[in-house]
Chains A and B, each alone.
Chain A
């Protein structure tokens, strides 16, 4: 599967690249060159992940500024325009250039290893997808420089991350800022779609001997479902953005309310993509937990078939719930009822997952390595997040809570408390595989506690602010509305999150040189990625392994009672 791979033996580091010229690993330039031209799924995976964390810091600093502005009423740290650009960019970047690259990164790195393949189905296409994503992100950030430079009007996009029509029409946002939003996302969207196709083909066609779909590791399963969602539900967003661009440049009327266009149609289009998107983000996190929890409980996942079924079910149902983001825009009574129903149904398969994780932990020997810590935090926080989600799903309750800080709290609970925690778990879990060294445990624990405490300080109070009627996307507020204290605590929390993140970033680099050697299989794990050296060679496996059960390595380690007896 090696077409034009540059076969140097240099492992890619996380971005920004640690510069160590004149070292036995080759000169810096050679190393960068390798990163740029590589088509190896592992290096691309790391590039994705590096990009993700890079933008995370950027968008996180924006979040810190948002919190700084809201720390007290009538604060004048930033101007309204700046603030609106801040939360728009924060949201857009976090979703499309933090969460998505991280998801694709893990998929890229882990999936081929887990299914015993030598590389992706289309390595060159894979590289292409990454660079599209990467430059999409750069294009979006360039808006800060480019947009005012050209027209003297409007800087970065400031129409909220779902670019409400008709606010995006020329009448209400002059200057090219909105165009940066739609073009950047068109570019990265193309990258994600091609990437999704690539990964699905890989999973379908390149599994090693004996690995039936039914023996596939759950992480790979969830990636499969995720990529299906990507392939099916990114195009609607692209379509809507094409229309928007036609409107802004050729004067098409799609969302021009002045010309009879509909402001609501845009929302339908966006959320038809938008809701599946949030599951695109969370399913891989589920996948990571499905790997971490069994291994640190020393038991196989509880109820593999049901877990697969639940994931697929979630995938399908999530296609039919989008209008729960639109309960208050004035839909017909029927559709409100219908979408409330479909929304609540999702609680059932999701619940099953949580229960099965608990079932896995029951009767096990839990080892609280850092990945396990983050996984447990995930369960706890995702539970709360899901329940607040259910409250929002009950349409009448949403008529009060919609567009309030309660919603902000809800989705940060899912995303930061869930997805980001899951990604952290995955990073600590697979780092030794990627770099051959363990991440430092003490630093990891500090990171964990700092971030979890910061997380709760930041987002728990936002629920109350929302209950007391605080709307989202306001750059300032007046005293006496009962919001002060909540915003104060919330802002304070960010500092802890920031420190936590700094510790994490430091740990990434420190362990790269100083971490203790990992060896092939530090966690005493069971899936194929642990059967090759760490870091794995460019071709992944000397000889493609053959698989007879879901836990091939368990079979090797325990010939006395192998899994395949039970399948």
Chain B
């Protein structure tokens, strides 16, 4: 799993570099400062989901499947919430601000970077849901907690990436 996370980070690094390199290089509007707004809610949702998934693990370790279900389900909800939020943001960007991936360099780098992250969230959600189903059908026991741990690692990784994306895209570049 460490290795997977390593390669994934390498992948993201390039997209982040591309984004940073092209900050302020777009030839035509819209520019970041005109259209970007801090995605506070989404961020809160995603980051807190890291906390809930940890709780879920503890529950499993303690052997309380019920608690596990609740916290795990909550995690999924939060993640889905984040996705929804991003969806709305994109909707606004595309239809109100007319920013698409082919508009300018900002558009290209923005959608590719945020999109790449979002796609990882989706993958994460799928994994989480699979686990949830499995445990609903009672096939998840205490002994599985290692596999669960793997998945939560991945989830934490996705969060960490978001922190980077957030700072680079919404804090640093939003001024330009």
Contact = CB atoms under 8 A, between A and B. Distances in A.
B170 to A, nearest CB: 20
A193 to B, nearest CB: 6
B40 interface: no
A232 B101 contact: no
B21 A265 contact: yes
A239 B7 contact: no
Contacts of A233: 10
Given A238-B11, A252-B108, A272-B14, 8 more contacts: A239-B11, A243-B108, A252-B102, A252-B112, A254-B112, A260-B27, A261-B22, A269-B14
A171 interface: no
A231 B8 CA distance: 9
B112 A201 contact: no
Given A243-B112, A260-B25, A254 B18 contact: yes
Interface of B: 3-4, 6-8, 10-11, 13-15, 18, 21-22, 25-27, 101-102, 104-105, 107-109, 111-112
B69 to A, nearest CB: 30
B6 A231 contact: yes
Given A231-B3, A231-B7, A232-B10, A243 B18 contact: yes
A296 B18 CA distance: 50
A253 B102 contact: yes
Contacts of B8: 235
B108 A254 contact: yes
A245 to B, nearest CB: 11
Contacts of B104: 253, 259-260
A280 interface: no
A233 B9 CA distance: 11
Interface residues of A, number: 30
A544 interface: no
A516 B159 CA distance: 60
27 contacts: A197-B4, A201-B3, A231-B7, A232-B6, A235-B8, A235-B11, A235-B14, A236-B14, A238-B11, A239-B11, A242-B112, A246-B101, A250-B101, A251-B101, A252-B107, A252-B112, A253-B102, A253-B104, A253-B105, A253-B107, A254-B18, A260-B27, A260-B104, A262-B21, A265-B21, A269-B14, A269-B18
A261 B28 CA distance: 12
Nearest to A251: B102
A390 interface: no
A250 B102 contact: yes
A234 B8 CA distance: 11
Contact of B109 (A200, A235, A254): A254
B103 to A, nearest CB: 8
Contacts of A252: 101-102, 107-108, 111-112
A200 B3 contact: yes
List 4 A-B pairs, minimum CB-CB distance, nearest first: A251-B102, A239-B14, A252-B108, A235-B10
A259 B7 contact: no
Nearest to A197: B3
A271 to B, nearest CB: 12
Which secondary structure dominates chain B's binding surface? helix
Nearest to B3: A197
A201 B4 CA distance: 11
Nearest to B11: A235
Nearest to B4: A197
Contacts of A231: 3, 6-7, 10
B81 to A, nearest CB: 27
Interface string A194-211: 001100110000000000
A269 B22 CA distance: 14
A254 B18 CA distance: 8
A236 B102 contact: no
A353 to B, nearest CB: 26
Nearest to A233: B10
Contacts of B25: 260, 262
Given A231-B6, A232-B7, A243-B112, A261 B105 contact: yes
A238 to B, nearest CB: 7
A247 B21 CA distance: 17
A236 B108 CA distance: 17
Contacts of A242: 112
B87 to A, nearest CB: 18
A98 to B, nearest CB: 24
Given A253-B102, A253-B105, A246 B112 contact: yes
A425 interface: no
A193 B27 contact: no
A247 B108 contact: yes
A259 B27 contact: yes
Given A247-B108, A262-B21, A265-B18, A235 B101 contact: no
A240 interface: yes
B159 to A, nearest CB: 20
Contacts of B13: 236
B53 to A, nearest CB: 24
Contacts of A269: 14, 18
B31 to A, nearest CB: 13
Interface in A209-234: 231-234
A254 B26 CA distance: 11
Nearest to B115: A246
Contacts of B108: 243, 246-247, 252-254
Interface in A274-326: none
A252 B111 CA distance: 10
Nearest to B102: A251
A332 to B, nearest CB: 15
Contacts of B109: 254
B117 to A, nearest CB: 13
A427 to B, nearest CB: 29
A58 B11 CA distance: 32
Nearest to A252: B108
A193 B4 CA distance: 9
Nearest to A266: B18
A246 B108 CA distance: 9
A265 B6 CA distance: 23
B105 A260 contact: yes
A233 B6 CA distance: 10
A13 to B, nearest CB: 33
A240 B14 contact: yes
B173 to A, nearest CB: 15
Nearest to B16: A239
A453 B117 CA distance: 53
